[in-house]
């Protein structure tokens, strides 16, 4: 009797001659899909918006560009940007009230479709948990599926730094989160979707990476992405093939 052995899809390297159809099959078979947040799930970079709100936008935006392009280590960029912003708890709360994050078109429908198919959805961000949780709530993503950096404040609400123990505070942190998710949940196929260098480097351990350029196109990421989309509706159409 002929027995068929079903094996999980692995992340394809250049040596295995991966094709676009391979990547699409991994996406359709995904156990979990992990999204970056800034410039992916939402239109803006949360830290840049916070900097503008605090009156130091130009200096911080340039550092964000370097960090996302890969020309500055993520942790260095995070430390330097926060040392300029030094936001208070009150300023963060007021930002969320006055200028809430704007969802990227199509993301709500995509997350809903993934949930309907029993695919777990996670938000893995180098941004701030207080902002990312706001986004997760809008998308009906459980807060325990959120991985992001935590700002720290003194009792009087003044800025006191950030929690450097979080994996997302380090370069390669998103990959560490995905490894942990696979180990804890037994996921065999995990897809990472994002716009930046820190998202691209999370594959592996992610089994596939989908570059997203719907809000900003980062040339280094586009060049290295086997599958690159500029609209979440492209991914919605792919799910219709299941």
Catalytic residue numbers? 36, 38
d(CA 109, CA 48): 26
d(CA 125, CA 167): 10
Residue 127, strand partner residues: none
d(CA 113, CA 115): 5
Is the omega angle on the peptide bond into residue 92 within 30 degrees of 0, that is, cis? Answer: no
Antiparallel, parallel or unpaired: β 32-35 and 151-153: unpaired
Maximal C-alpha separation, the chain? 72
């Amino acid at each position: 009797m002929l027995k068929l052995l079903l094996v999980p899809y692995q992340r394809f390297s250049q040596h295995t001659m991966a094709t676009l159809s391979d990547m699409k099959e991994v996406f359709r078979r995904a156990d979990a899909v992990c999204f970056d947040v800034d410039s992916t799930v939402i239109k803006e970079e949360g830290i840049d918006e916070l900097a503008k709100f605090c009156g130091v936008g130009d200096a911080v935006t340039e550092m964000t560009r370097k960090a996302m392009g890969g020309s500055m280590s993520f942790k260095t960029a995070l430390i330097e940007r926060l040392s300029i912003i030094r936001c208070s708890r009150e300023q963060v709360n007021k930002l969320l009230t006055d200028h809430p994050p704007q969802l990227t078109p199509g993301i709500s429908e995509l997350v809903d479709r993934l949930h309907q198919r029993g695919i777990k959805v996670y938000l893995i961000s180098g941004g701030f948990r207080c902002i990312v949780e706001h986004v997760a709530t809008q998308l009906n993503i459980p807060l325990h599926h959120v991985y992001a950096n935590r700002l720290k404040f003194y009792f009087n609400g003044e800025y006191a730094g950030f929690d450097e123990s979080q994996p997302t505070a380090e370069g390669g942190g998103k990959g560490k989160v995905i490894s942990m998710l696979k180990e804890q949940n037994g996921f065999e196929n995990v897809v990472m979707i994002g716009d930046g260098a820190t998202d691209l480097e999370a594959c592996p351990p992610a089994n596939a990476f989908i570059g997203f350029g719907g809000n900003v196109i980062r040339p280094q990421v586009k060049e290295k992405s086997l599958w690159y989309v500029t609209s979440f509706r492209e991914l919605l159409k792919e799910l219709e093939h299941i």
